[in-house]
Amino acid sequence: MASVEKTLTKVAFFQEKHAVVITLAALLFAGLGAVAATGLTWESDFMKLIPQDIPSIQLMKDVRSEFGGIEEYAVVITLENKAGSPNAVQDVRDPRLIQMLDRMGENILSEQGVTDVVSLATILKETFGEIPQNPFVIRETLRQHPMAPYLMNTDYSVTIIRVKTNIRGYENVKRFVKALEQDVRESELLPGVNTYVTGENAQLADIIDQMHLDLRKTVLVAATFILIILALMFVSPLKAFLPLVPLGFSLTWTAGTMYLLGIPVNLMTVSVAALLIGLGIEYGVFITNAYYEHRKLGEDIRTSVSYAVSHVGRGIFGSSSTTMAGFLAMTTAGIPGLRQLGFILSIGIFYAMVAAVFVCPAILVVEDKHLRPKKMVDTQKNRINTWKHGFLTRLEFLPKLQARHPLLVLAMVFLVTLLLAGGLSLLKIETGFHGMTLPQKFESVRGMEIIEDEFGGLTNIMIVVRTDGGGVNDLRNPEAMRYVDRLSTLLAGEE
């Protein structure tokens, strides 16, 4: 320990002597990190966040390679005659609406990456070769067709166009959704008809857009609240701002590292900035508080920096090391997204520690020597009283309570822990968007809610049937076809 303190003391003397150079170097690297961060990409392909050696994932890859697109989107068509138009469509089986569905389907099928489009119009064209104009024929055909209940609801006010594609990835999904919306607009919408373009990939892309906005908002809100709290602690807006500077450095360094290592922002790594702010701010606060406490006691700049770095810095090393160890343990997980999150958080904590111990003292010296008015450099004894009687002194009842009634405090903590521990058995893992409260401003969210209410969702389960090199070598074999038919009949009876 003595050797560590001795080394840190030498580091502190170097920081005091070359404070301006260290600060400028940190600014330079922060600028480079900020520039690199502009190249970060957003990843919406959930498949890249999960293990690739799971049998179901391997099977899905095989299906993609053999049959093409299995990503599903939908255009939801609802009948809502809010304007009271006498010509509005009242029934999704109306020949006019079927013609509109056909136009939409043709437009959508022309888009690159689309492998199949299914709608009520598809059923009728497969049955008759064209769309009948007789409403009775349309209704009877759809009433008897087994696929119709999956494309229209029971009161005939909602129908969907199901679109299968091989389109994945944030940028590709956003472009495709815009193309779908354009195809819908160009299909001559009828009075009383509303449309929604949706799908799980479309929802995911919208959620990433929202996360992008929320990321900037949460960072700004967190920094504002932290600045207010530190201003109350240090009784100075400038001193309150100083611990945030090295934290900002660590954030830009982390973002730049993500870019250099090719790690995209995804549903897991999007939380890195907020986590680093919450976990890393304390390091700079400890250094800043120790420095100013010694300055108030009359110590010179070198002595104050030496104490802050050698004594408090040692504790920060220990605290950050254990935190990094915890996050590095996540890199042993089987889920790639979780491994990325653990690695980036450990790197971010390391940068936060480096910025607090090696950069923050230099910034404090620059502020003390070059930014603070001369009259404030001299120690003022009355400021100690101001500090002691500040709002933090109201917290003195806590250590007094702990010293006088330690068993009572421990009993209270144990009781609360016991009560809350019961909630562990009630935790559940949410496996989709269905249990999440998603922003209603997105068309994809509103459309998916309609599908879930009327059709139970858009999720499909695929069963792959293939030969194993035994007696049947061709699935067109009558025996194989009978097996598939029996399997289909059994599955049709499942709830």
Could you read off the pLDDT of 340-383 as tens digits, one per residue?
Answer: 899 999 999 999 999 999 999 999 999 888 776 554 444 444 44
Supply the DSSP symbol for 162.
E
CA distances from 265 to 43, 76, 181, 261, 337 (A): 6, 30, 26, 12, 10
DSSP secondary structure, 223-257, as one string: HHHHHHHHHHHHT-HHHHHTTHHHHHHHHHHHHHH
Q: Which H or E element spans position 485?
A: helix 478-492
User: With 60 as the cut, is the pLDDT of residue 436 above it?
Assistant: no
Closest CA to 121 of 147, 100, 90: 100
Closest CA to 322 of 350, 296, 344: 350
Distance between CA 272 and CA 347 in Å, rounded? 11
DSSP secondary structure, 426-443, as one string: G-----SSTTS---TTSH
Distance between CA 360 and CA 309 in Å, rounded? 10
User: How many CB atoms are closer than 10 A to CB 396?
Assistant: 10
pLDDT score for 434:
52
**What confidence tens digit (pLDDT) does each residue in 146-176 have?**
889 989 999 999 999 999 998 877 788 889 9
Residue with the larger pLDDT of the pair 204 and 358: 358
In this prediction, residue 432 has a pLDDT band, given cuts at 50, 70 and 90, of low
Residues facing 163 on adjacent strands: 73, 117
Distance between CA 446 and CA 455 in Å, rounded? 14
pLDDT score for 430:
62
The mean per-residue pLDDT over the stretch 9-19 comes to 87
% of the chain with per-residue pLDDT over 90: 27
Closest CA to 337 of 282, 269, 279, 286: 269
User: By the 8 A CB rule, do 168 and 201 touch?
Assistant: yes
Residue with the larger pLDDT of the pair 50 and 268: 268
Residues facing 75 on adjacent strands: 161, 197
The mean per-residue pLDDT over the stretch 190-197 comes to 89
Residue with the larger pLDDT of the pair 235 and 420: 420
Least reliable range by pLDDT among 27-41, 151-165, 362-376, 422-436: 422-436
Alpha-carbon radius of gyration of the chain: 32
DSSP secondary structure, 271-322, as one string: GHHHHHHHHHHHHHHHHHHHHHHHHHTT--HHHHHHHIIIIIHHHHHHHHHH
**What confidence tens digit (pLDDT) does each residue in 43-94 have?**
766 667 777 777 777 777 777 777 666 788 999 999 986 656 777 888 999 9
User: By the 8 A CB rule, do 115 and 166 touch?
Assistant: yes
User: With 80 as the cut, is the pLDDT of residue 336 above it?
Assistant: yes
Q: Tell me the domains of the chain and their CATH numbers.
A: 2-48+211-423 (1.20.1640.10), 68-203+443-492 (no CATH)
The mean per-residue pLDDT over the stretch 447-456 comes to 86
Distance between CA 409 and CA 411 in Å, rounded? 5
User: With 70 as the cut, is the pLDDT of residue 470 above it?
Assistant: no
Which tokens belong to 300?
């010179």
Residue with the larger pLDDT of the pair 40 and 3: 40
In this prediction, residue 182 has a pLDDT band, given cuts at 50, 70 and 90, of very high
Alpha carbon 207 to chain centroid, angstroms: 8
Residues 6+ apart with CB under 8 A from 235: 386, 387, 390
In this prediction, residue 393 has a pLDDT band, given cuts at 50, 70 and 90, of low
CA dihedral (255, 260, 264, 265) in degrees, to 10, reads 0
pLDDT score for 68:
65
User: With 90 as the cut, is the pLDDT of residue 491 above it?
Assistant: no
Q: Which class for 206: exposed (0-12), middle (13-18), buried (19 or more C-beta within 10 A)?
A: buried
User: With 80 as the cut, is the pLDDT of residue 390 above it?
Assistant: no
% of the chain with per-residue pLDDT over 70: 88
In this prediction, residue 493 has a pLDDT band, given cuts at 50, 70 and 90, of low
CA dihedral (274, 279, 284, 289) in degrees, to 10, reads 120
| β-strand pairing of 158-165 with 71-79 | antiparallel
pLDDT score for 488:
78
pTM of this prediction? 0.74
pLDDT score for 240:
83
Residue with the larger pLDDT of the pair 338 and 388: 338
